[in-house]
């Protein structure tokens, strides 16, 4: 078996390849969109590795796998190029996040103010992931404005940021960290 090298040198000119083989600039909105998914996925791995809470670990692995699918969907220009071994994000995955949010929310007091991130590294990591998720959503909606994407991708990423916010609050609760509420000046 021939060894595959990690470096190809094909990106040295500032371009990268899509699944189709088409080369585009690394600053293209499509690359920003799926690059942000990659960053978000790394944050979720850090959260999972930093957490002792089983309720989060299995959910985060499932989300990380789905983010790989989302990144794949964003790396193609045509559904004809979509890998046969993957199923595009479906509405069921959005519903899964909604169910997870609902389960976590049952344990929380109603929120009437904004929350200042912090109090524990795990809470802060989760807020950072939420922020990256929101940036990712902005890139994806910008790409969608240029060419129509599956509405499930946008809904999934939007719901994921809601899940991460709720998860940060649950972590604070379970770690007995007092949330700092922002009530204005």
The answer, yes or no, to whether residue 63 has pLDDT greater than 70, is yes
pLDDT > 90 in the chain, percent: 68
Reduced to 3 states (helix: H, G, I; strand: E, B; else coil), residue 132 is helix
Q: Which residues contact 169 (CB under 8 A, 6 or more apart)?
A: 104, 108, 111, 115, 179
The answer, yes or no, to whether residue 175 has pLDDT greater than 80, is yes
Which residue do the tokens 């990423």 mark?
157
């Amino acid at each position: 078996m021939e060894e595959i090298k990690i470096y190809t040198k094909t990106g040295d000119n500032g371009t990268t390849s899509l699944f189709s083989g088409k080369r585009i600039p690394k600053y293209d909105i499509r690359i920003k969109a799926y690059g942000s998914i990659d960053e978000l996925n790394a944050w979720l791995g850090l959260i999972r590795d930093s957490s002792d809470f089983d309720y989060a670990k299995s959910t985060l692995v499932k989300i990380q796998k789905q983010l790989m699918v989302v990144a794949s969907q964003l790396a193609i220009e045509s559904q004809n190029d979509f890998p046969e071994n993957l199923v595009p994000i479906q509405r069921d995955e959005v519903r899964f996040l909604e169910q997870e949010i609902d389960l976590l929310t049952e344990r929380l007091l109603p929120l009437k103010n904004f929350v200042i991130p912090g109090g524990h590294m795990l809470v802060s990591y989760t807020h950072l992931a939420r922020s990256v998720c929101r940036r990712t959503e902005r890139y994806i909606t910008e790409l969608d404005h240029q060419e129509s994407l599956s509405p499930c991708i946008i809904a999934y990423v939007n719901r994921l940021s809601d899940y991460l916010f709720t998860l940060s609050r649950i972590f604070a609760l379970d770690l007995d960290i007092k949330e700092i509420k922002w009530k204005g000046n």
